[in-house]
Every structure is written in structure tokens, then in C-alpha cells.
Amino acid sequence: MNPYVPKPGIVEGIRWETERIRTFVIRFSGWTIDFKPGQFTQVLVPGVGEAPFCIASRPSVKDRVKITVQKRGNVTQALHNLKNGDAVGLRGPLGTGFPIEEFKGRELVIVGTGIGIAALRSLIYLAVEQPNYFSHVTVVYGTRYPQDLIYAYEYDEWRTAVDLIITLSRAPPEWRGHRGRVTEHLKKMSFSQDTVAAVCGSGVVMRSVSKLLIEKGVKPENIYVSLERHMKCGIGKCARCMISPGLYVCKNGPVFNLKQISLEYIARW
Amino acid sequence: MSIAYRIPREKLSELVEVLMENYLVYAPVEKAGNFILSDVEDPAEVTLEYIRTINSVDSILLPPKEYLFKYRAGTMSFAGKLTAYIDVEDYSEKREKPLCLFGIHPCEAHAIKYLDKVFSTEPKDPYYESKRRDMFIAVILCDKGDENCFCIPFKTYIPPEDVDLVMSLDGDSIVLQPFSERGKEVVLKLEASPTEAPEINPPQRAKKIDISVFDSLTLEKVISGDISDLSEKCVLCQACTAVCPTCYCFDLYDEPDPEEPGAFFRVRRRATCHGLYYSWLAGGEVILEDKESRFKWRILHKFVFSKNMYGCYGCIGCGKCTAFCPAGIDFIYLIERLQR
Ligand SMILES: Cc1cc2nc3c(=O)[nH]c(=O)nc-3n(C[C@H](O)[C@H](O)[C@H](O)COP(=O)(O)OP(=O)(O)OC[C@H]3O[C@@H](n4cnc5c(N)ncnc54)[C@H](O)[C@@H]3O)c2cc1C
Ligand code: SF4
Ligand code: SF4
Ligand code: FES
């Protein structure tokens, strides 16, 4: 099997999340997927190119995936131009994902900011689909403005299984919910030696969240961050995604615990 | 196999000819005063006397630009349902014969072993594998070298055991020592007289530095060191990474087929960590933003990351990056500075 060749899929649904973010449902043409929360896929817009996206759908669904795409450059713009019924290509699932077997029966805290919540959505779905999988789940999700929030249509479903804290760092006066950065809310919480954390956001946010969690007693090996690096091959060949002390984010990650990589290398080379 | 054979130097082209019957031979040839590893058309142009070729084995196994496949994607109705298709046509270069790398120095054969660790491990790279399959490797022992060579600490002047043929120059003759059955078959096609296998000595002029210089490089040392005065001189020409036999970073992108609208090529192009685009992230952040960080990155990749990922160093000590740097930046000096 040639690992560079994508498999066909068809756009079957498009949801406008925000002005710059859309979620696509892609149904596979003649194949199925078996993925772990935290894994990603290389999505091809024919003629334009590939870009990596986290799989943001229910792990139990095998014949299609959802990806949530923020408009950035060539490929992401081309994705935003797609219509229902258009063909795309996919490679994956790629990467290792969260070690969910090790999470079983434990307290889980999920921290996402901005588009980073997309990387954590399949983990939230797992909690929703299997309410007894974890002993307790808290989701702390932060953005700047209310109009940046995505997946709002699902929060009620999430709340059936998780404690959901949505916080805005630049909330307008009329905002009735939580205010401030995610770290301000994490500061008020308490964790056990056994708590596991799943974190995704910008490098700087992941570093400050991780630092705080360690201070609050969460063990570094129980803190999992989902990293972003420039990726091309997605299979550990092109070396574009390497991080200290010598790991491919695409192949060995993108999810790492803080024993595998140290705090200071989350946001730098 | 310690038996060796001797042929007169005039028979070099005959040896190349024998190989050309079964292989597509790449060997050092002189072009405009430089030595280049090039596909051989005329066996007489092949030379075994050179210090270093500009290009390296990686430029053959991972060409600067390579068309991987051509594809057409679209949708069609199938049993009343719309489905997508991607028709893929292999577009990689086809060869009738396997490749032979003839007359490369032992250090470059070690570079191939390093690239194997990247490209021939799961998931295997089919394009690399197709070039590497049945490849015949004939090395020439390196006796002189120059002040930029530092193969001694890595012992890469000693050929790896799985090459096919080891050659050395001895006065008016060439001594051929087959390391494989295939190597032996080739030698037996020539009128060669048995002789003693040559001794393998380090190149005379290579730097005599100790392996501890590299063994003691740590992530912390490299990151905290200050080499900005040296990196400042870099003109970003990217020669260092282009000539390096063990550099393997690449880009993948799609290109339209000018002859067939709707069809596209997946292209692989070699990339360099000395370029700005190398580590650009979606948020606009560049991981390797200044020149110093790129030098440190290259050193980390070769000595710290490779050790973690592949259990060996990603540098063979060929000295090309120093020899071909127009700004005169000395790779070993960079490393020595980071040791302080
Ligand atoms: C493992 C992983 C998971 C990701 N998941 C998501 C997700 O779920 N949703 C989402 O919106 N985004 C995600 N991203 C980011 C997304 O891949 C980039 O936004 C996208 O690659 C930009 O491509 P482009 O062609 O639109 O941009 P380009 O036109 O190529 O360039 C725009 C900017 O993006 C940078 N960039 C280009 N290609 C890549 C690349 N392959 N990786 C990283 N940066 C790149 C460029 O250097 C430039 O700064 C993820 C990235 C990674 C590595
Ligand atoms: S060869 Fe020298 S000048 Fe050119 S990119 Fe490399 S270090 Fe810089
Ligand atoms: S000496 Fe320079 S060019 Fe040669 S392998 Fe080492 S880094 Fe590459
Ligand atoms: S994306 Fe190519 S090695 Fe990770």
C-alpha cells in the first residue's frame, strides 16, 4: 500500500461554525475508518493540495468523518469553497491519538482554546457515548469573543456527560457566562494524583495550561497535549514536524504526554 | 570475503562497462572542474580520484524534484448514489535496470544506511524503495580527504559490510575486494589476478577529532549556546543542506498536468531547514525564525534527534557543508563553539 495515495471521500454536509470556521462531513467512498480520539487525517482538495486536520467526529462512526477547518491559506480556503457532493481525498487515520485505554475509569479534564477544541471533540464524544468510561469529565473551553465559539449546537448533548465551562477572555458586557482565560478557571479546580488532562490550543496556551496543571498536582505523564507543526508527509519521512528531543509529531504524536516532551518545547523548536 | 583481485588502472572503464550491462550506473565524473555523481554514458569519463563530489547519494535516492503519481478525482453515480473516485497513475521514474552507485566514498555508503533507516522502515516509502531495490554499491577507499573531512570519529571511512565491492588505488592498479556474491561475479568477468585485501586506513588529511565532541552535545547545550556571530554570515543559499548526503527533508505539493486539464501530479521537492517556509505554522508563527535557530536545528537533527529516532548520528563527516559554504561557515567550528 502506497502511504502517499489518498482515498476518495465526498462532502456530505457543511456547517458554518463562525465566519472563518466550517465543519465538513466527509463520507468515504468504498472504505471505512477505525480511529482513536486525537488522531488526524491529511485532507486533499483535488488540484490544490493536502493539509492535516484532526478527526472531530464520533469514534463509533466508521463510514464518514467530520473535520473542522479554520480558513488560513490555500488548502483551507479551497476547502471552504467546497459544496456538498464535491470529491476530496483522505489519508489516515494518522498519528497515535490519546491512549484512551489508560484513561479508563479516571478523572479527565479537557482543556481547549480556539480551534484547538476540534482536536478534543472526538474525546468529548467518547465521554458522551460511553458515560461510564471516565469517572468524571470536565471540559474547559475558551475563546476570545462569543462569535468565536464553535459546536454551540452540541453543548446540551455534551452537558449530559461532562461539566462544561465555557469562558471568554474578551466577553462583551451582555455575556452571562464565565469570563477570563481558561487558566483562571483551572486555578479554582482541584485535581487528584490520578487525574488525566487533554490539552489543545496555541503553543503558548498549552504551555501555560500544562504548567498550571503540574503546579496543581497533575503528574506530567498524565498531561497530554496535541501539538501542531508544519506537516507534509504525515508518516515520519519528510522531517518537517520534528520536535525536541527527537520525535515526529505526525508519527509519534500529535498527542504527547509531558514525560515524552518537556514543557519548554511545546511552543518552540 | 577477504580475497581481493588486482586489475590495471586502464581497465577501470572495462569494469564500469561490465556493470553497465546490468545496472544503470552513477559514478563520479569531472564537469567544468567539479566532480559530480552523474549517470554514466561513457565509461571512460568515470574517475576514482577526487576529494568530494558536489552532489551526494541522496540526490539520486531522493531527487531534488520527483513526480510521484498523477491523479484525477471526481464523482460519479454508482447504483443511484453519488460516490467519489481518485484514479491514481504511478508516475515515478521507471528504470529497466537497478541502480549502481560506483566509486562513491565509504562515508556516502554510510549515508545510504542512514537514509534506509528513515525511508525503508514502516511505513515504507515506495519511491525510495524502488530505487534502493537491488542497488549495487561499489565504494572506493578514501586515502587523502582534506581538512574539511571529519569521518575519523564516526569511522565512516570504513565501508559498511553490505556494500558489494570495495575498491582501492594501488600504484598502477586498482584492487577490487568483493563484499558480496554479486560483487564477486562482476570481478570474475574481468581478467583479474588474486592479491591481498587492502588495509583500511583513515584518510591522511581528515581532521583528527574525538567522538566525544559529538557524544557530549546535548539538547540543552545546543539550545543555550551562542553562535549568532557565525550564523549571521549565512547568506541563506541553502547549499549546505543541498549537498549533504544525509539531509532528507522534503515538501509535497500538487501540480496541474499542462497536457491534461483535470489531472494533477503529486510532486516531492527537497526542502531545507535554512528556508523560512520550512516551519511556518497556520497561526503565522515560524518555529525556526532566525538563522541561528536553523543552524542549531540542523545540528540537533544530525546529532541529538537522529540518536533518539534512529540510534545513530545523522552525519557522516564528509565535510561537504563546510567545503561548499560560500560564507565560509565551518560546521565543526559551530559544534566546538556549542561545546563551550
Ligand atoms: C496534526 C494537525 C492537526 C490540525 N488540525 C486542524 C484542525 O482540526 N482544524 C484546523 O483548522 N486546522 C488544523 N491544523 C492546521 C492546518 O493544518 C493548517 O491551517 C493548514 O495546513 C494550512 O494550510 P493552507 O494550505 O490553508 O495554508 P497555506 O496556504 O499553506 O499557508 C498558510 C499558513 O499555514 C501554514 N501551513 C501550511 N501548511 C501547513 C501544515 N501542513 N501544517 C501546519 N501549518 C501549515 C503555512 O506555513 C502558512 O503559515 C492542524 C495541523 C496539524 C499539524
Ligand atoms: S551553505 Fe553556508 S551560506 Fe549557504 S545556507 Fe548553508 S550555511 Fe548559509
Ligand atoms: S559533514 Fe555536513 S554535509 Fe557531510 S553529512 Fe555531516 S552535516 Fe551533512
Ligand atoms: S509530517 Fe513528514 S515527518 Fe511528520
Domain count across chain B: 1
- Alpha helix locations (H) across B134-286? 181-188, 212-215, 219-224, 228-231, 239-243
Both A26 and A151 in one domain: the answer is: no
At B339 the pLDDT is 84
**Are A202 and A237 part of one and the same domain?**
yes
Q: In angstroms, what separates the C-alpha of B282 from chain A's closest C-alpha?
A: 6
Phi-psi region of A131 (alpha: psi -120 to 50; beta: other; left: phi over 0): alpha
Boundary-marking domain end, from A74, A94, A114:
A94
Span A81-106, mean pLDDT? 96
A134 and A106 together in one domain: yes
Instruction: Give the one of A4, A86, A230 whose C-beta lies nearest to B266's C-beta.
Output: A4
Q: Which domain holds residue A12?
A: 7-94
CATH number for position A27: 2.40.30.10
Chain A within 8 Å of B235 (Cβ-Cβ)? no
Residues A81 and A122 in one domain: no
Alpha-carbon span B3 to B179, nearest angstrom: 9
Q: Output the pLDDT for position B282.
A: 61
CA A244 to ligand 4 center in whole angstroms: 14
Atom 6, ligand 3: residue with shortest CA distance: B315
**pLDDT confidence bin for A95, thresholds 50/70/90:** very high
ipTM of the complex: 0.90
Nearest CB neighbour to A228, from listed B250, B271, B282: B282
A165 with A117: CB under 8 angstroms? no
Gap from CA of B239 to ligand 1 centroid (Å): 28
Q: Which of A248, A252, A255, A256 to mutate to test the pocket of ligand 4 (most atoms within 8 A of CB)?
A: A248
- Number of folded domains that form chain A: 2
Query: Which range marks the domain in which residue B78 is found?
Result: 3-337
Do A70 and A130 belong to one domain?
Answer: no
B124-180 pLDDT, tens digit per residue, is 999 999 999 999 999 999 999 999 999 999 999 999 999 999 999 999 999 999 999
User: pTM for the full model?
Assistant: 0.93
Nearest partner of B132 among B75, B68, B213, B58, judged by Cα:
B58
Please name the member of B84, B251, B285 whose beta carbon is closest to the beta carbon of A8: B84
* Whole-number Cα distances in Å, A101 to A33, A98, A106, A210, B251: 19, 9, 10, 22, 35
Residue B163 per-residue DSSP state: -
Take atom 52 of ligand 1 and give the residue whose Cα is closest. Answer: A228
Contact B84 A9 (CB under 8 A): yes
Task: Please indicate whether, in this complex, the C-beta atoms of B74 and A50 are within 8 angstroms of each other.
Answer: no
pLDDT value of position B93? 81
**H and E: helices and strands count for chain A:** 7, 15
- The pLDDT assigned to B283 comes to 63
